[in-house]
């Protein structure tokens, strides 16, 4: 195994595009196992097939809940999480209720988080809160981070993954500065170069999530100190 591949577990391969197909999943599973990445995150309808395709692999299988904007009812999010866990997901990323946050209803935001976090932890799965479905003021993001930490989240996530690398790196710094050392930070975005992935890690990301390519993994991990240990 090359040094490059040994560094790859700090990366997460992301297949959450709206039109991701069964064929895309086959390719994603092959890529994730070949490059020994830390996790594969897929759309909810693909979880069962992904679990079957991964077999006995120890690779973390993640999915998303409350996509794309997090405004679903609390009970709906908890149900989504429960079904994903039943089908084999070991990691849940969910979008916070940004409308409740901007309305100043911290109790609703906290309870929304707690419902999914408790559901995931009851199944011994890791869970993270996606801070932004759409750009949000920094003070609101920081407040959401504090609520996520209080609710017991394992990590916080920059966005749903559609943000540019530049925006993601900047937001990673905010998230890392807003939570304690117990909480991981996932930088999810449209990364195009290994240097961008290394910048995200330098900004405080413990996991970098993107639609990866072999070239991206290779260039990102060529530097033996390029990425910080992941969660």
Q: Could you tell me how many residues make up the chain?
A: 231
Mean pLDDT over the full length of the chain: 91
CB-CB contact of 178 with 142 (8 Å): yes
Instruction: State how far the alpha carbon of 107 is from the alpha carbons of 8, 100, 119, 147, in Å.
Output: 38, 9, 18, 9
Q: Which residues pair with 185 in a beta bridge?
A: 156
- pTM, two decimals, is 0.91
Residues 6+ apart with CB under 8 A from 60: 38, 39, 40, 90, 91, 126
Architecture of domain 3-220: Alpha-Beta Barrel (3.20)
Instruction: State how far the alpha carbon of 124 is from the alpha carbons of 86, 89, 116, 130, 173, in Å.
Output: 12, 10, 12, 19, 28
25-80 pLDDT, tens per residue? 999 999 999 998 999 999 999 999 999 999 999 999 999 999 888 999 999 999 99
| pLDDT value of position 227 | 52
Cis status, amide bond into 68, omega within 30 of 0: yes
Q: Pick from 115, 100, 133: which is nearest to 16 by CA?
A: 133
| pLDDT value of position 228 | 43
pLDDT band at residue 219 under the 50/70/90 scheme: confident
CB-CB contact of 152 with 173 (8 Å): no
Question: How far apart are the C-alpha atoms of 187 and 201, rounded to whole Å?
Answer: 8
Q: Is 171 helix (H, G, I), strand (E, B) or coil?
A: helix
CB-CB contact of 207 with 155 (8 Å): yes
Look at strands 126-130 and 91-95 and give their pairing: parallel
Residues 6+ apart with CB under 8 A from 65: 44, 77, 80, 81, 84, 92, 93, 94, 95, 116
Q: With a cut of 50, say whether residue 182 has pLDDT above it.
A: yes
CB-CB contact of 151 with 127 (8 Å): no
* Range with lowest mean pLDDT among 141-155, 165-179, 190-204: 190-204
């Amino acid at each position: 195994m090359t040094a490059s591949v040994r560094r790859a577990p700090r990366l997460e391969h992301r297949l959450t595009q709206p039109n991701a197909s069964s064929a895309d999943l086959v390719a994603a599973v092959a890529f994730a196992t070949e490059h020994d990445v830390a996790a594969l995150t897929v759309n909810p309808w693909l979880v069962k097939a992904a679990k079957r395709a991964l077999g006995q692999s120890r690779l973390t299988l993640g999915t998303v809940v409350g996509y794309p904007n997090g405004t679903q009812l609390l009970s709906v999010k908890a149900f989504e999480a429960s079904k994903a866990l039943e089908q084999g997901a070991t990691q849940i990323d969910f979008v916070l209720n940004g409308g409740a946050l901007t309305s100043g209803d911290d109790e609703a935001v906290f309870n929304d988080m707690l419902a999914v976090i408790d559901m995931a932890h009851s199944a011994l799965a890791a869970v993270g809160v996606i801070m932004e479905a759409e750009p949000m003021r920094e003070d609101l993001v920081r407040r959401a981070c504090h609520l996520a930490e209080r609710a017991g989240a394992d990590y916080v996530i920059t966005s749903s993954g559609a943000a540019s690398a530049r925006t993601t790196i900047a937001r990673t710094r905010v998230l890392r500065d807003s939570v304690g050392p117990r909480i991981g930070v996932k930088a999810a975005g449209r990364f195009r170069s290994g240097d961008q992935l290394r910048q995200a890690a330098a900004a405080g990301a413990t996991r970098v999530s993107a639609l990866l390519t072999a070239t991206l993994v290779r260039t990102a991990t060529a530097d033996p100190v390029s990425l910080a240990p992941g969660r």
